[in-house]
């Protein structure tokens, strides 16, 4: 029997030691998970409280203006350049008058296979009930107009991600830029920015967003890469390399600051889909149709109605009457019955027809004072931010000042060097005049012996060469060689 040590524990085996270590590691992992769960629950509660407080403080969305233009207006253009230019005019007019939505509708009818470029999934309940599995087609002119409108609205630093090379965008570089407030440059400072979710790895529940700055912004949501989002930056004025922000609704910049934040583009396959496929739950509460057969716009009183979502529909080359005739879903004969107001925006016109891109500017200007928005936009001074102005060319002001200073410095240096050169030139002229006068004086007071030396033909000058009379040269050359000049060939 081995001896038993009193007061001392028996030595542990390696097996028991490993089991205790494993149990300790397991306990530590469980404690760590519990702490993380507590933190997550606290963060969820804080976010819920913030959302509740935010919903109480959220302002109502400002009233919106939507316009509907037919895609067939591009078919009337004579070349691809003119088609792109017409689309650019529509985009410029929409931005100038702060249009929120641009609808491109097909006013000709169902497109054939040759007239379409792409099929869209059918979401029509009627087709689904009838068992029609054929997807509706979109006319190529409608698709091209929508693509150019989306391209021009997208900020420049995001276009390479969303718009690959396409023949519809071949002449988009010749179009006038929109210069909207959300087309921010790298040196512009603003609270909101448009961006795209990048594929850069981030911690759980977060993503990195490329917003056109030197560094990506870390946001509070995990979203798949390639999605366009609106980001609200934190501490936008601090020059921090690590930028943080949160993803917000595209309506928030317009709602909170009152600035224009671009437009959205929607394609309608017919005139009826303009009204039935709208993005608003209650639809458009005020609709206006434009035609030369409508009532005079000057007869409409100012501030006649208030609107929350205004829709203005424009016709194509043959007007809204042709679009109504080509729509099989509408059973009315008069297009004026589809709208709350059917107006003629330019009575006594000088031309037989007004092009749609021209009528767009005329109508938006004429109807601006006729109807009043229910929720006006916020008027807020944004002097603290460096938003693009009308005189902003993209160059920083400090760079412009430094360029002006350098040009002025170079000009002053050039003037000073020119004056110095003139002074040196004057000194040289005076010195040359003085040396010339001295030489003349010396020649006048020269001794007679020097003049005799020049009269003597055999005398030498400075021992460098000898002056020989011409009669002596002739005597040295034989007479028979005077006429023979072949030796000089």
- ∠ at Cα 184 (237, 199), nearest 5°? 85
Q: Which of 452, 460, 410, 304 is nearest to 367 (CA)?
A: 304
What lies within 8 Å, CB to CB, of 210 at 6+ separation is 157, 158, 195, 196, 198, 216
- Counted residue by residue, the chain has a size of 489
Question: Along the 489 residues of the chain, how does pLDDT read in single tens digits?
Answer: 455 555 566 777 888 888 888 898 888 988 888 888 888 787 777 777 766 555 555 677 889 999 999 999 999 899 999 999 999 999 999 999 999 999 999 988 765 545 554 444 444 444 444 544 444 577 889 999 999 999 999 999 999 999 999 999 999 999 999 999 999 988 888 899 999 999 999 888 899 999 999 899 999 899 999 999 999 998 777 667 788 999 999 999 999 888 999 999 999 999 999 999 999 988 999 999 999 889 999 998 888 888 999 999 999 888 899 999 988 888 888 899 999 999 999 998 898 889 999 999 999 999 998 988 988 887 776 665 656 665 555 555 555 566 667 777 777 777 677 666 777 777 888 887 777 777 766 655 555 554 444 445 444 444 444 555 555 545 555 555 555 555 554
Q: Domains (ranges, CATH) in the chain?
A: 60-121+135-178+262-370 (3.40.1280.10)
Packed helices 80-96 and 356-366: angle between N→C axes, nearest 10 degrees: 10
Separation between Cα atoms, residue 340 and residue 204, nearest integer Å: 52
Tell me the HSE value of 139 on the side-chain side, using a 13 A CA sphere. 20
The encoded tokens of residue 456 equal 């003597």
On whether the pTM is more than 0.75, the answer is no
Tell me the HSE value of 246 on the side-chain side, using a 13 A CA sphere. 7
The encoded tokens of residue 233 equal 């930056």
Residue recorded with tokens 């005019």: 89
Tell me the HSE value of 360 on the side-chain side, using a 13 A CA sphere. 26
The encoded tokens of residue 478 equal 């034989």
Tell me the HSE value of 293 on the side-chain side, using a 13 A CA sphere. 9
Separation between Cα atoms, residue 209 and residue 225, nearest integer Å: 9
Separation between Cα atoms, residue 256 and residue 59, nearest integer Å: 8
């Amino acid at each position: 029997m081995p001896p038993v040590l009193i007061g001392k524990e028996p030595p542990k085996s390696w097996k028991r030691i490993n089991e205790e270590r494993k149990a300790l590691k397991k306990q530590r992992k469980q404690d760590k998970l519990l702490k993380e769960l507590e933190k997550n629950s606290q963060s969820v509660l804080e976010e819920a409280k913030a959302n509740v407080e935010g919903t109480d403080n959220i302002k109502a969305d400002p009233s919106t203006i939507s316009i509907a233009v037919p895609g067939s207006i591009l078919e009337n253009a004579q070349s691809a350049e003119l088609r792109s230019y017409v689309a650019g005019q529509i985009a410029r007019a929409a931005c100038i008058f702060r249009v929120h939505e641009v609808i491109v509708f097909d006013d000709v009818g169902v497109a054939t296979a040759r007239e379409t470029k792409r099929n869209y999934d059918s979401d029509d309940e009627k087709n689904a009930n009838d068992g029609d599995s054929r997807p509706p087609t979109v006319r190529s002119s409608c698709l091209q107009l929508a693509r150019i409108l989306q391209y021009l609205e997208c900020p420049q630093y995001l276009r390479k991600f969303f718009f690959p090379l396409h023949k519809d965008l071949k002449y988009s570089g010749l179009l006038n830029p929109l210069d909207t407030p959300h087309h921010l440059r790298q040196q512009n400072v603003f609270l909101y920015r448009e961006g795209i979710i990048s594929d850069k790895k981030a911690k759980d529940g977060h993503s990195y967003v490329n917003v056109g700055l030197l560094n990506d912004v870390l946001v509070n949501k995990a979203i798949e890469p390639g999605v366009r989002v609106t980001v609200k930056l934190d501490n936008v004025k601090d020059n921090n390399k690590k930028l943080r922000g949160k993803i917000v609704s595209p309506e928030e910049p317009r709602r909170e600051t009152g600035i224009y934040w671009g437009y959205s583009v929607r394609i309608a396959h017919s005139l009826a889909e303009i009204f039935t496929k709208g993005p608003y739950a209650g639809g458009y509460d005020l609709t206006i149709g434009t035609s030369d057969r409508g009532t005079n716009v000057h007869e409409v009183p100012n501030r006649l109605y208030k609107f929350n979502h205004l829709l203005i529909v424009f016709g194509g080359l043959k007007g809204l009457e042709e679009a109504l005739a080509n729509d099989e879903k509408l059973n009315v004969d008069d297009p004026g019955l589809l709208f709350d107001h059917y107006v003629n925006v330019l009575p006594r016109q000088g031309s037989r027809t007004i092009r749609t891109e021209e009528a767009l500017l005329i109508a938006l200007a004429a109807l601006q004072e006729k109807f009043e928005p229910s929720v006006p936009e916020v008027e807020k001074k944004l002097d603290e931010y460096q938003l693009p102005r009308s005189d902003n060319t993209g160059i920083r002001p400090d760079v412009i000042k430094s360029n002006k200073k350098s040009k002025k410095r170079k000009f002053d240096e050039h003037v000073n060097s020119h004056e110095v050169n003139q002074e040196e030139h004057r000194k040289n002229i005076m010195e040359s005049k003085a040396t010339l006068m001295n030489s003349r004086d010396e020649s006048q007071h020269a001794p007679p012996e020097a003049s005799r030396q020049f009269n003597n033909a055999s005398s030498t000058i400075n021992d460098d060469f000898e002056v020989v009379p011409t009669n002596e040269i002739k005597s040295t050359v034989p007479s028979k060689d005077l006429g023979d000049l072949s030796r000089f060939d």
